[in-house]
Amino acid sequence: MFSKKFFIDNFKTLFYALLIAILIRSIIIQPFYIPSSSMEPNLLVGDRLFVSKYTYGFSKHSFPFSPPFFNGRVLFSEPERGDVIVFKTPADNRTDYIKRLIGLSGDEIQFINGDLFLNGNQIIKKFISSDDEIYCGNNTIRVNTFEEKLPNGKTYRASYRQDYSFQNSDKFIIPENHYFFLGDNRDCSKDSRFLSEVGYVHKDNIVGKAQILFFSSDYKIGSILKFWQWSEILRFKRILKKIN
């Protein structure tokens, strides 16, 4: 027979373990899974990454289920252009999106003839390769790949469709305390260009900064449970890779 003390001690152990896990997930670091191709060629479906929760301070969205403990953001640090950030989409304040930060409060952003302009200046776009193949959902598309350079010196790769690409837009003027995000897979990303679905993201909606890939597998080939196929399924070169 188990004693009452046995159940109490085990309940305490489980409670403290759960509390520590929640604190680590909320304050220090949280794992995320990449479910879509919107950040290709830099992040692939099947990538697992660690997101630091402390980099930009904390809001209610730092905690599981976004409990309304407080409003605003504490210990806030301003994100930098080019950071890859997880945020809660403004449409429902629940769904996690991961995109690249392009515009800060007060910036003006516009696409003109397929080129990205920030505050009236064209973002430097260096040609890398043509006729690359990346995913858009379950389909593959052919793209041209460029290296873009933001005014703060941050560089990253961005892909544009060959057959048709996002060409022109109105000016996006970013409100105070908001940010403008784009996917690196420019023609296969729901991001801040789509005002009714994502739009400008308030600073309180930021969850954290994507820091490092700790694991990656190609689900299109097979399940990681099929250990005899690991040589094909696991992307070994992406494991423990720093996110740019």
Q: Any idea which residues carry the catalytic annotation? A: 38, 99
User: Would you say 87 and 201 are in contact if contact means Cβ atoms under 8 Å apart?
Assistant: yes
Task: Return all residues near 207 (Cβ < 8 A) that are at least 6 apart.
Answer: 30, 51, 53, 61, 62, 85, 86, 87, 88, 96
Phi and psi dihedrals of 11, rounded to 5? -65, -40
Task: Return all residues near 5 (Cβ < 8 A) that are at least 6 apart.
Answer: none
